[in-house]
């Protein structure tokens, strides 16, 4: 097999990107946290790592990447999730290999609240009140967030006796519905693929990401406001490729930007069509962005099944609507993700109900007792 025109995907979970690449006949290798059964099916190789955040993780990842580049000529690295909390690791990779992804300097700006929200203010874009240090002037409900934290598991409610570390900040807790916008950009131009409703994990009783449904109904005014915000943010930060913007809509209809994720998010595969969004992601970094052809006639949803107790995965004939399938024999601790469940149909509410039913069925089959979110 020729050893050029191959890509090494590095992400907390690389399955979705690998599947999209496979759809286009592109060879990939994956480094991720899970080494799932279906990721292995889509790739030439799949290597698991323990994490991306601390020094030991960084050393392990750098060594694995070095081995890949020694074995495969002209290998380009495609970045997914996991580097937001450790852009220094991404910077190390950028000095060693060809990296397709937003530069470490861009991630530092987007994930530093003092820089990011100050830029939103200059753009006259709405965002929740925030603090990077605690004092007596703080009034109201706030959340503590980790700078660069991904997946929501790092978020908790602020209590008056809580303190902040150098890598955490407070963000006002707004009551409303959570949404995201999935988009693709080339540093100047941006195209919104769609708007998603998102929700958090009921099993873990926290803010961990639990799922999303695509093509939700929002007012034309709100859609235009968020689209304009994305275009201005893309132009300012020179964002490229598949990205996402998280926002919340309060009962009054007012929206606030929570964060921007400068890499392919979990929701991008809700918009995968006959073409490959992996291919369009690569093209965006070459300035060859085109507006994707999207199917707006229906909706898709994905939901994460979290372990209600510690389990060892048995040999299973997984339903076709399950992805991120763990290998038989893998041990999964309580609260950790087991797999991803999918649903699709014409009406958003019907798709959400189908997803809820499928999650409940799987939950019962594993002996988990908590209701689906």
Name the pTM for this structure: 0.94
CA 75 from centre of chain: 24
Six-digit token string for 360: 């409940």
Which pLDDT score, from 0 to 100, does residue 43 have? Answer: 97
Our separate counts of H helices and E strands in the chain read 9, 19
- Residues 295, 282 contacting (CB under 8 angstroms): no
Using DSSP's 3-state secondary structure scheme, residue 310 falls into: coil
- Residues 173, 207 contacting (CB under 8 angstroms): no
- Reported as type and span, the H/E element at residue 357 is helix 348-366
Which pLDDT score, from 0 to 100, does residue 204 have? Answer: 62
* Pairing, β 142-146 against β 156-157: antiparallel
- Residues 236, 248 contacting (CB under 8 angstroms): no
- Residues 201, 304 contacting (CB under 8 angstroms): yes
Which bin fits 264, alpha (ψ -120 to 50), beta or left (φ > 0)?
A: beta
* Pairing, β 176-186 against β 190-200: antiparallel
Using DSSP's 3-state secondary structure scheme, residue 221 falls into: helix
Which pLDDT score, from 0 to 100, does residue 203 have? Answer: 65
All domains in the chain, ordered by first residue: 7-100 (3.40.50.20), 176-366 (3.30.470.20)
Which pLDDT score, from 0 to 100, does residue 367 have? Answer: 94
Please tell me the distance from the alpha carbon of residue 157 to that of residue 244, in angstroms, as a whole number: 24
Please tell me the distance from the alpha carbon of residue 40 to that of residue 49, in angstroms, as a whole number: 15
Using DSSP's 3-state secondary structure scheme, residue 292 falls into: coil
Which pLDDT score, from 0 to 100, does residue 205 have? Answer: 64
The set of residues, in sequence order, having a beta carbon less than 8 Å from that of 72 and lying 6+ positions away, is 3, 6, 8, 29
In the chain, how long is the greatest CA-to-CA distance?
A: 64
Which pLDDT score, from 0 to 100, does residue 161 have? Answer: 67
Six-digit token string for 14: 């690389």
Which pLDDT score, from 0 to 100, does residue 370 have? Answer: 56
Which pLDDT score, from 0 to 100, does residue 296 have? Answer: 77
| Regions of the chain short of the pLDDT cut 70 | 1-4, 136, 161, 203-205, 370-373
């Amino acid at each position: 097999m020729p050893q050029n025109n191959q890509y090494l995907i590095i992400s907390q979970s690389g399955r979705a990107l690998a599947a999209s690449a496979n759809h286009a006949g592109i060879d990939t290798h994956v480094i991720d946290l899970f080494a799932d059964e279906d990721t292995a099916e889509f790739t030439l190789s799949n290597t698991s790592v323990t994490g991306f955040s601390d020094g030991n993780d960084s050393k392990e990842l750098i060594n694995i990447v070095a081995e890949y580049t020694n074995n495969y000529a002209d290998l380009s690295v495609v970045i997914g999730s996991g580097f937001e909390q450790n852009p220094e690791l991404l910077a190390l990779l950028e000095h060693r290999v060809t990296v397709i992804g937003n530069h470490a300097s861009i991630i530092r700006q987007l994930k530093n609240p003092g820089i990011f929200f100050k830029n939103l203010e200059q753009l006259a874009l709405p965002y929740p009140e925030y603090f990077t240090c605690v004092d007596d002037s703080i009034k109201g409900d706030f959340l503590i967030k980790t700078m660069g934290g991904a997946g929501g598991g790092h978020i908790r409610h602020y209590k008056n006796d809580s303190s902040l570390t150098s890598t955490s900040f407070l963000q006002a807790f707004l009551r409303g519905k959570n949404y995201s916008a999935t988009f693709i950009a080339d540093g100047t131009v941006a195209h919104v693929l769609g708007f998603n409703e998102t929700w958090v994990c009921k099993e873990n009783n926290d803010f961990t990401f639990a799922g999303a449904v695509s093509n939700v109904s929002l007012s034309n005014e709100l859609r235009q406001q968020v689209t304009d915000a994305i275009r201005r943010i893309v132009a300012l930060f020179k964002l490229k490729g598949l990205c996402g913007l998280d926002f919340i809509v309060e009962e009054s209809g007012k929206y606030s930007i929570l964060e921007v994720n400068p890499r392919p998010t979990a929701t991008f595969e809700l918009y995968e069509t006959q073409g490959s969004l992996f291919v369009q992601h690569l093209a965006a970094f070459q300035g060859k962005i085109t507006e994707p052809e999207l199917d707006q006639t229906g909706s898709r949803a994905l939901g994460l099944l979290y372990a209600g107790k510690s389990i060892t995965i048995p040999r299973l004939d997984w339903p076709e609507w399950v992805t991120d399938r763990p290998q038989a024999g893998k041990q999964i601790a309580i609260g950790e993700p087991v797999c991803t469940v999918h649903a699709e149909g014409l009406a958003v509410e019907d798709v959400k109900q189908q997803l809820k039913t499928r999650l409940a069925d799987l939950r019962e089959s594993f002996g988990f007792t908590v209701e689906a979110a």
